[in-house]
């Protein structure tokens, strides 16, 4: 995935370069680090351009735990309600939200009828199985979950254990483990 900063005047050239010349399968946005609102006009322009190009956008909720952050890290998280507002403003987008903490089954993305059936995915690298992953998996199956580990900040074995604890059938587990990523990124299986 290429990183785009919509505050940069020539971000559209960067987007074209990332997809067409470098073959990147998606774009990553860092609104807190680049100084714009996740549901603001800058993010909407990039998301709309990605919808037109048919590529997904990843908006990490956070990079590192604010309690141990570098002094230059703003120590803030991207809120799921802002991402829900962004997806309402730009329908048809595919959005990944890695590193999201909290009760996934009570996310504004899941609770809001206007966004519930859109193409958004949370990974479970920083989510807890009970009350988070298990609740969303029981409510949506594999529709909004995607495997993620938070490497290099977390050990990958933790995510593998979480995946093994999910009470889902084999087909659902396959879609969560890699099927959703293969499909949404346009990869060959």
Local structure of residue 104 (DSSP, 8 states)? G
pLDDT number for residue 14? 96
Name the token pair of 133: 């992953």
8 Å CB contact between 37 and 31: yes
pLDDT number for residue 151? 80
pTM: 0.85
Tokens 């909407």, located at residue: 44
How many helices (H) does the chain have, and how many strands (E)? 10, 6
Name the token pair of 130: 């009970």
pLDDT number for residue 173? 86
Which residues of the chain, if any, have pLDDT below 70?
A: 64-67, 69-75, 102-106, 128-136, 138-141, 189
Among candidate residues 146, 111, 152, 108, the one with its CA nearest the CA of residue 127: 146
If one counts the domains in the chain, the total is: 1
Note the Cα 32 to chain centre separation in Å.
15
pLDDT number for residue 166? 80
pLDDT number for residue 103? 59
pLDDT number for residue 55? 95
pLDDT number for residue 67? 67
Local structure of residue 131 (DSSP, 8 states)? I
Domain span at residue 161 reads: 2-185
* pLDDT tens per residue, range 132-182: 666 667 666 678 888 888 787 778 888 888 888 888 888 988 888 888 899
pLDDT number for residue 130? 61
For residue 129, give Cα distances in angstroms to 58, 77, 136, 179. Answer: 22, 21, 10, 20
pLDDT number for residue 18? 95
Distance CA 129, CA 80 (A): 19
* Cα atoms found within 13 Å of the Cα of residue 67, Cβ hemisphere only: 0
Q: What percent of the chain has pLDDT over 70?
A: 83
Instruction: Tally Cβ neighbours within 10 Å of residue 35.
Output: 11
CATH number at residue 39: 3.20.20.140
């Amino acid at each position: 995935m290429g990183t785009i900063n919509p505050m940069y005047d020539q971000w559209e050239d960067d987007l074209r370069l990332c997809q067409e010349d470098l073959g990147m399968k998606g774009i990553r946005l860092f609104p807190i680090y680049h100084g714009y609102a996740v549901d603001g006009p800058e993010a909407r322009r990039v998301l709309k351009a990605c919808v037109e190009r048919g590529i997904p956008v990843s908006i990490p909720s956070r990079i590192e735990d604010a309690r141990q952050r570098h002094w230059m890290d703003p120590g803030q998280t991207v809120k799921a309600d802002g991402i829900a507002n962004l997806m309402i403003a730009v329908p048809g987008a595919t959005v990944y939200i890695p590193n999201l903490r909290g009760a996934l089954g009570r996310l504004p993305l899941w609770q809001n009828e206007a966004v519930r059936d859109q193409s958004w995915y949370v990974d479970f690298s920083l989510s807890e199985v009970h009350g988070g992953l298990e609740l969303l998996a029981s409510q949506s199956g594999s529709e909004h979950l995607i495997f993620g580990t938070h490497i290099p900040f977390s050990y990958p074995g933790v995510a593998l254990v979480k995946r093994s604890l999910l009470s889902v059938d084999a087909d659902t587990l396959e879609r969560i483990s890699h099927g959703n990523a293969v499909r949404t990124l346009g990869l060959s299986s």
